[in-house]
Amino acid sequence: MKNSFGNNIILTIFGESHGNSVGFVLDGIPAGISVNEENIKSLLDLRRPSGSISTARAENDEFTVHSGVFNGYTCGTPICVTIRNADARSKDYTEKERLARPSHADYTAHVKYRGYEDYRGGGHFSGRITSAIVAAGGILIPALNKKGIYIGTHLKSVAGVSDREFLDIEKDIKNLADARFAVLDISKKDEMEAKINEARANGDSVGGVLETAIVGLEAGVGEPWFDTLEGMISHAVFSVPAVKGIEFGAGFALCDMLGSQANDAITVTNGRTETKTNNSGGINGGISNGMPIIFRTAIKPTPTIAKEQETINYVNNENAVISASGRHDPCIAHRARIVLDCISALVVADALATRQGTDWLAL
C-alpha cells in the first residue's frame, strides 16, 4: 500500500504543501466514538509553528469533516477530513523549482515522478502533510485515553541539550499533553530554544531525539512476523519527514551489554507481572509485555537552510549553489513530537482492533 497504513484501522493521507488541501481518510473506526472538533483543533495547535524557533508560515488549519461523523459520534464509515492550505506563497519557491535542496526530496521526487511532481514547498514531501496525521490523532487519542492508554513524546535532546528521562511515565505524559515545547525538565527549554535560534541566526538548522512512551497497553498485543509492534511503529514513524533512526528500550546501547545486563528480570507482585528493568521497551518477540512501550526517534536537522550549499539544477542537470530563501523551520523536532504521538496512536489502535474486534475501541 502506498499512502495508507494499518490493517484494520487504516489511515490514508493526501495533499501537497501548496495544493488545495491536505487531509486524511480514516477507515475501520467503529461507530459510536465521540468526535469533538476541539480535540482535533488543540492537537493541530500543538503542531503549529510557534515564534522564532519555527517557520513563519502561518496556517490556521481550518478543517472540514466531510464524512463518517453523525450527531457527534463516528457512524462506522470512513472519516474524511480536509485541511485548507491557506498561507501557501508559491512565489517564495520559484528558485527551488530548479535547484534540489541537499538531503531533501526534491531530486528523488523529480526522478520518481518524471518531472510531474508538485515541487512547490516540498509538495507531498512537506512536513505540512503531517497535519493530516495529527488531525486523525484528534479522534484516536481521546478514544485510547478512555481505554486507559496514554501516549506522550518529549524532546530527549535538541542540538546536544538533553532532557531528563521519563520517571512517573503516566504523570509525565499527562504533563506533556498541552506543552507547546515538550520537555520534562522545563529548565531545558530555554537552553534548547537558544540553540535553535542560534542555528537560525547562522542560516543553519539543528536536529534532536524524540522519546515516546505508551502506557496502559495490555500484554499480548502485536504479532511475531512481520507485524511486530516495533515493525509497525517503525514503518509508520519513518514516513515522518526527517526521521533517520529508531530504537526501542535500551536500543543501540544493548549492543555493548552482556545478556545478563540486558535481560529484564521478571517478577510477579500481587498477581501483576512486571519486569524490574525495561531494556526491552515493553516489547518481547514483537508483542507487548505490559510494561510501558518506549522508543526513541532520530530527527535530523531540517535540510532547508539559508546557508549556501552545493547542489544541482535537476531540470538541466547542472551544478549550482543553493541558499534557501523561503520560510522554513530551523528545527522540526519540537513540532514533530505530536506527530509521533498520533502515529503511535494509530498503530496501537489498529493492533488492538485486530485483537479485540473492530468495535472494541467504542465499547
Q: Which is nearer to a second copy, 129 or 338 (CB)?
A: 129
Distance CA 349, CA 145 (A): 11
User: What does the block give as the cell for 268?
Assistant: 510477579
Q: Helices (DSSP H) in 14-98: which residue ranges?
A: 37-47
Residue with cell 535547484: 99
DSSP code string of 98-145: TBPPTTSSHHHHHHHTTT-S--GGGGGGSGGGHHHHHHHHHHHHHHHH
Q: How far is the CB of 312 from a second copy (least distance, A)?
A: 5
Residue 288 touching a second copy (CB under 8 A): yes
Q: 83: closest CA among 141, 126, 31?
A: 126
Residue 113 touching a second copy (CB under 8 A): yes
Q: 248: closest CA among 214, 225, 277, 281?
A: 281
Q: How many residues bind a second copy (CB under 8 A)?
A: 155
Residue 223 touching a second copy (CB under 8 A): yes
User: What does the block give as the cell for 251?
Assistant: 536500543
Stretch that binds a second copy, among 55-63, 136-144, 180-188, 279-287 (CB under 8 A): 279-287
Residue 174 touching a second copy (CB under 8 A): no
Residue 199 touching a second copy (CB under 8 A): yes
Q: How far is the CB of 282 from a second copy (least distance, A)?
A: 10
- Is the distance from CB of 126 to CB of 304 less than 8 angstroms? no
Q: How far is the CB of 251 from a second copy (least distance, A)?
A: 4
Contact pattern from residue 124 through residue 163 relative to a second copy, giving x for each residue in contact according to CB under 8 A and a dash for the rest? xx---x---------------------------x-xx---
Q: 326: closest CA among 125, 86, 54, 96?
A: 96
Distance CA 344, CA 174 (A): 16
Residue 334, SS3? helix
Distance CA 97, CA 315 (A): 9
Q: Which of 60, 185, 318, 325 binds a second copy (CB under 8 A)?
A: 318
In the DSSP assignment, the letter for residue 186 is T
Residue 315, SS3? coil
- Is the distance from CB of 210 to CB of 297 less than 8 angstroms? yes
Distance CA 94, CA 88 (A): 13
Q: Which is nearer to a second copy, 148 or 160 (CB)?
A: 160
Q: Which of 163, 172, 211, 264 binds a second copy (CB under 8 A)?
A: 264
Q: How far is the CB of 195 from a second copy (least distance, A)?
A: 10
Q: How far is the CB of 278 from a second copy (least distance, A)?
A: 10
Question: Of residues 19-38, which lie at the interface with a second copy (CB under 8 A)?
Answer: 19-23, 25, 27-28, 31-32
Residue 49 touching a second copy (CB under 8 A): no
Residue 86 touching a second copy (CB under 8 A): no
Q: Which of 39, 48, 57, 68 binds a second copy (CB under 8 A)?
A: 68
Contact pattern from residue 226 through residue 245 relative to a second copy, giving x for each residue in contact according to CB under 8 A and a dash for the rest? xxx-xxx-xxxxxx-x-xxx
Residue 88 touching a second copy (CB under 8 A): no
Question: Of residues 93-112, which lie at the interface with a second copy (CB under 8 A)?
Answer: 100-105, 107-109, 111-112
Residue 80 touching a second copy (CB under 8 A): yes
Q: Which is nearer to a second copy, 84 or 177 (CB)?
A: 84
Residue 53 touching a second copy (CB under 8 A): no
Distance CA 36, CA 292 (A): 28
Q: Which is nearer to a second copy, 168 or 363 (CB)?
A: 363
Stretch that binds a second copy, among 42-50, 122-130, 140-148, 164-172 (CB under 8 A): 122-130
Residue 89 touching a second copy (CB under 8 A): no
Sorted by sequence, the CB contacts under 8 Å of residue 154 that are 6+ apart come out as: 163, 166, 172, 176, 182, 183, 184, 210, 211, 337
